[in-house]
Chain A
């Protein structure tokens, strides 16, 4: 690993001013992804701004919403009794990600900003448009078993690896950020982006901006929810496909529904068409199958990941069935 300078920031304002002077400066908190990327020389900042001393670690239930500090640890949020009670989908998704040691280190904002685990992105001997723009994509026509089936481009077919983000996308969360030009709010579903011709950009966060909070509006999704994660081993592996389901069922009728998938796109993939179809319908296996078929509109596979075209809809049906039966 290349050596670097490290400074500690004690407020989000000082963190932002500490980073804006240097072009290759980066924030560090849990470090579970960044330190690994630095060891592999995928990123090589000259300076790190340690933001772990900033008071952004609380989970607070406010009027109409819960506010989660950017530096709250993944395990802290997953095991928060109020989160488990009011937003069990988020707790389930968090517990499905990484290992307990990593969840103790990793922060909510760091989870959002983690990079893809595409092997071509990690291997500096290989072409990768995300790592080195215009260098080509090794995964298209290469080893692409883990890769996208939705929203990919000729430049990049990588997927966002987070589980937590799939739940936050489903739950209509909002991201609060702070930068040199002040504060702004971003809809969670707008935060991550599709690769297009600029896969080097994972999200729309400005270079010198930092995430300060994530907010989830109050909802009725505290019972009929499920996070189904399909992976190569039963724990501590990235998703081949994951599905987040939140249902509000009254008298066997679906009053409201939120659906999102992970492991299938450059961003958490919200299934709005399937959601609209399900609203107002009575719970049945038939409508779940029809919703899953709708959700797969526009899906495209790249060879080794062809199985996701079958696994995807099956996972949606399974997740809906489990959520409805809770």
Chain B
């Protein structure tokens, strides 16, 4: 997102584009205006962009063990927060409408769809994404099993499949191939790696490791 790009931009970056310059100057304008002026600007819709800068809410959220104190627009989804604000692009945006499961993450230990979750409603939540599974260079058992069983082709649905697969076992819904298929049905794989995904989940379940 524009604001983060501005925050992260190295000083003296000679590749600074005209677009970035405009974004920067519009942001500076927003800061320069006194609050009453901003409210008036917002009410009269003088500059919707300026108004947008103040229509944010503060959010404390823990992602993969790191605490963040952020300012987000109420309309920002958890998926966009992860990908655009925190640069955690492992979680994928597939359909963005809750139909594919590519955006599955764990919030407070439960698998949910981040594309249908408003970040502003995740106050003090603990979020785990695919980036938070490995311990150093050691992959999570489910990641190992997906590699071993070839549980993907293009890989786009894989982060969601892995997050969902771990939850499927933790919930106690991995007791048969049929049950795994049913409780993984919210994760669509266009390549059709389903059989191997079920193999991977079955192996992790039978391995009995604490996930």
Q: Which of the 9-residue segments B24-32, B33-41, B104-112, B142-150 touches chain A?
A: B104-112
Give complex CA distance A99, B163 in Å. 14
Write the B111-140 contact mask toward A (1 if CB under 8 angstroms, else 0).
Answer: 111001110110000000000000000000
Q: Which of the 9-residue segments B4-12, B70-78, B84-92 touches chain A?
A: B70-78
Give complex CA distance A35, B99 in Å. 13
- Contact across chains for B118 and A31 when beta carbons are under 8 A apart: yes
Q: Which of the 9-residue segments B60-68, B180-188, B199-207 touches chain A?
A: B180-188
Give complex CA distance A100, B181 in Å. 11
Q: Which of the 9-residue segments A19-27, A101-109, A307-315 touches chain B?
A: A101-109
- Contact across chains for B186 and A236 when beta carbons are under 8 A apart: yes
A275 at the interface (CB under 8 A from B): no
Which listed residue, A2, A39, A100, touches B173 by the CB 8 Å rule? A100
- Contact across chains for A3 and B186 when beta carbons are under 8 A apart: no
Q: Within 8 Å CB of B183, what residues of A?
A: 100
Give complex CA distance A148, B57 in Å. 43
Give complex CA distance A64, B180 in Å. 36
- Contact across chains for A39 and B96 when beta carbons are under 8 A apart: yes
Give complex CA distance A173, B131 in Å. 44
B43 at the interface (CB under 8 A from A): no
- Contact across chains for B186 and A35 when beta carbons are under 8 A apart: no
Main secondary structure of the interface of B (DSSP, over half): mixed
Give complex CA distance A28, B116 in Å. 12
Give complex CA distance A234, B57 in Å. 41
- Contact across chains for B101 and A99 when beta carbons are under 8 A apart: yes
- Contact across chains for B74 and A235 when beta carbons are under 8 A apart: no
B118 to chain A, nearest CB (A): 6
Write the A1-34 contact mask toward B (1 if CB under 8 angstroms, else 0).
Answer: 1111110000000000000000000001001100
- Contact across chains for B74 and A102 when beta carbons are under 8 A apart: no
- Contact across chains for B113 and A6 when beta carbons are under 8 A apart: no
With contacts A31-B117, A39-B96 taken as known, whether A101 is within 8 angstroms of B74 at the C-beta atoms is no
Binding site for A on B (CB under 8 A): 52, 55, 57, 73-75, 77, 96-98, 101, 104, 110-113, 116-118, 120-121, 164, 167-168, 171, 173, 181-183, 185-187
20 further A-B pairs in the complex, CB-CB below 8 A; given A4-B74, A100-B164, A100-B173? A3-B52, A5-B74, A6-B57, A6-B121, A28-B118, A31-B116, A31-B117, A31-B121, A32-B98, A35-B118, A48-B74, A48-B118, A52-B121, A100-B171, A100-B186, A102-B98, A105-B117, A235-B181, A236-B185, A236-B186
